[in-house]
Chain A
């Protein structure tokens, strides 16, 4: 961002952080649209009920844990604990990958149940919503990869600029985490 922004550091929320939160709002609208479409379509009948794959529950645990660990990594970064900062970050990135793997395993589980992508829209919705969410998690893993490059290539030095960058990383990571928890609860609650 430009120098124009750097001079406004006295704002309560940094403009960069604000812009990220705004972007998260628009991503929320994307998923709100998916889930509203789900509700509208479900209300129209001809809807196949099926249990969610167990892997989705495993993945939920994984991504929540990952979120918590990344937050502790941020706290360690601020407190100057270099080893904890690096270690926790690597673990949370690995957990992020594990989450995506679990989602894919969940898709196989659904297929084994006989719920295919092209069948009744009740299954297609779960596939598409979970896949679009996983794409957002993959973007988060890319962001974490950049954060890891910073962690391991740059000398350890918690400058305000790096704190800000890390803050943005965790905001996005928490966002995709909370988004998945919402989607899981949504799927569970819609199964009557």
Chain B
């Protein structure tokens, strides 16, 4: 029989806490004295987290809407799209009989922008930007980030990156259309396609700004985690969320500069006439001067970022899921140290597997073997994590909140998507699978849907911390079940398309008899995608409605969690704690220990307490 420990939280923090003389400085007031420095150029990590999240939601809607437009083209290629003309303008061409069709050039632009927006703006900035900012100081017992100024700049560089990308959507020549990876020569030659001119210039400027944002954020996260932990918060007492954000920041710091170098060389090729990536190219029958470059060089540099990037996306989701799962299963996370070591192992391995994206680019088969082996080894720490999540659920007193449902959904998606990764990681099987819908299905499930589920788990769980109110649980559950079923309905059939060799990124398949019988399957996928899209709109409505009208959070710790963020005042003050900083006496997962339901981290070790976790 679990019972609740009796203690006075405020008294305990004040007595046991750590006085950092914070409140003697009286800077708090000038810090947030006007509308502009409270809501716009804020240097408070909680506000910056909300800025990242809401900007991420904005981009997610745009990115998802783009996918609906190109799914309409794929599912219903003969259908009249004239009704989209008010939105897309000249990109919908209407013939004499009034039938509107999507411009093929713009189809490629949509696919490219969908990828760029979702990977960088939503799942990197919107996910790790939001939760690293919110949770690192709160869960570590810090007043704020190491440098609130750099933190603010990090958001505004992201904002500028978004602004440039957004404006590129309205260019008369269209945004960049050469795929989100920006492979040369399509990206390196302004004359290669209509999106490769101004569209590509803006794409590259936007992403350079984005790299600056990630680096400023990452420097801050690493410095804060290593230097600003409160008294007693050793590395081994940090919640798994913090471990995940920490390793994510290290990956970003080491891999994004490499992307920047790839872009520098690209800019020289585009603007100064160098030939880093270009060699012996004919355009319109006329040869170009460029000799001696190698487009494969760009691929190496791009994927040296690109592969760590997928872990930059998934690790924060893993951290959030671990934490949410432990709280709502009322059980300590199973195998805490194994979880930490598997995060570190995944982080390390992510740097030595990049060429598995390039098996079909003419990589030496002996070198490919090396990358196959390390790619498959990633299955080991991933499996450790999956096992630990399932073991955490086993025998737990599970509360099926929306946050918990999305955490469990995450594990399902991660398994489904991870298994197909083992197919694709083999260079021989990749000969058939490369650039087919199998790849699309794989990465959407494992880093798209799974990362989104982790993000939703985080949003539902920490929403009260952000806004002092709860999101609507009924809508949350509709959102979960609809998305869970709908996401599988979209991506499961794509595996079959891929195995049959249907190539990705094609505008339509009417000239391919081999793929004719997949027409109905494509219709099904499109309909499922539309349903799932509207379920996400439901989430957005729930999100914004609850900011103003949601059920109020009356107690500081509504979920009965052990971590420090739930000891701060409900209204969220600058400096996070009104008095002393809490000091930490135990790890973050004392649930059900000695029959006590949960013991927060700031509660000192009782002399009669049992030793082990």
Contact = CB atoms under 8 A, between A and B. Distances in A.
A46 B218 CA distance: 39
Nearest to A124: B274
Contact of B275 (A13, A40, A121): A121
A121 B276 CA distance: 6
B147 A30 contact: no
Contacts of B261: 30-31, 33-34, 37
Nearest to B19: A7
A161 interface: no
A172 B491 CA distance: 49
A37 B265 contact: yes
A28 B420 CA distance: 35
Given A15-B228, A121-B293, 20 more contacts: A1-B146, A2-B147, A3-B22, A4-B575, A5-B227, A27-B257, A29-B253, A30-B260, A32-B258, A33-B261, A34-B264, A37-B265, A40-B300, A41-B293, A41-B297, A46-B291, A117-B272, A118-B275, A121-B276, A124-B275
Contacts of A124: 268, 274-276
A2 B148 contact: yes
Interface in A26-71: 26-27, 29-34, 37, 40-41, 44, 46
B554 interface: no
B149 A29 contact: no
Contact of B274 (A26, A46, A118): A118
A4 B142 contact: yes
B60 interface: no
A29 B149 CA distance: 24
A23 B301 CA distance: 20
Interface in A99-129: 117-118, 120-121, 124-125, 128
B299 to A, nearest CB: 11
B78 interface: no
A3 B223 contact: no
Interface residues of B, number: 52
A85 to B, nearest CB: 27
B274 A128 contact: yes
24 contacts: A2-B144, A2-B147, A4-B148, A5-B147, A5-B228, A15-B224, A19-B147, A22-B222, A23-B219, A29-B253, A29-B254, A29-B255, A30-B257, A31-B261, A33-B257, A33-B258, A37-B261, A40-B297, A41-B276, A44-B294, A117-B273, A118-B273, A118-B274, A128-B264
Contacts of A145: none
A8 interface: yes
Interface in B284-335: 289, 291-294, 297, 300-301, 304
A94 interface: no
Contacts of A120: 275, 291-292
A19 B293 contact: no
Contacts of A32: 258
Nearest to A5: B146
B297 A29 contact: no
Interface of B: 20-22, 25, 27, 43, 142-150, 215, 218-220, 222-224, 226-228, 253-258, 260-262, 264-265, 268, 272-276, 289, 291-294, 297, 300-301, 304, 575
B215 A3 contact: no
A117 B274 contact: yes
A19 to B, nearest CB: 4
- Name the 8 nearest CB pairs between A and B, nearest first: A4-B143, A33-B261, A30-B257, A29-B257, A33-B258, A15-B227, A7-B20, A118-B273
A33 B301 contact: yes
Contacts of B254: 25-26, 29
B222 to A, nearest CB: 5
A18 B274 contact: no
A26 B219 contact: yes
Given A121-B292, A128-B268, A1 B149 contact: yes
B149 A33 contact: no
A124 B220 CA distance: 35
A30 B264 CA distance: 10
A46 B275 CA distance: 12
Contacts of B257: 26-27, 29-30, 33
A46 B292 contact: yes
Contact of A3 (B27, B255, B264, B294): B27
A188 B147 CA distance: 40
A37 B258 CA distance: 10
A182 to B, nearest CB: 15
Interface residues of A, number: 37
Given A15-B227, A30-B258, A3 B25 contact: yes
A38 B182 CA distance: 20
A34 B297 CA distance: 11
Contact of A8 (B227, B262, B275, B297): B227
Given A4-B142, A37-B301, A121-B292, A26 B215 contact: yes
B264 A118 contact: no
Given A4-B144, A7-B22, A11-B227, A121 B274 contact: yes
A3 B143 contact: yes
A142 interface: no
B292 A22 contact: no
Nearest to B262: A33
A75 interface: no
A54 B208 CA distance: 34
Interface in A117-148: 117-118, 120-121, 124-125, 128, 132
A23 B215 contact: yes
Contacts of B289: 118
Contacts of A40: 294, 297, 300
Contacts of B264: 34, 128, 132
B53 to A, nearest CB: 22
Given A34-B261, A120-B292, A128-B264, A25 B253 contact: yes
A48 B354 CA distance: 29
Nearest to B274: A124
Contacts of B297: 37, 40-41
Nearest to B20: A7
Contacts of A13: 227
Given A15-B223, A118-B273, A33 B215 contact: no
Nearest to A31: B261
A14 to B, nearest CB: 8
Nearest to B278: A121
A27 B300 CA distance: 19
B21 A7 contact: yes
A97 B207 CA distance: 31
B47 to A, nearest CB: 14
A13 B268 CA distance: 39
A18 B272 CA distance: 37
A33 B259 CA distance: 9
Contacts of B27: 2-3
A18 to B, nearest CB: 5
Contacts of B149: 1
Contacts of B22: 3-4, 7
Nearest to B256: A26
B29 to A, nearest CB: 13
Most buried by B among A4, A11, A37: A4
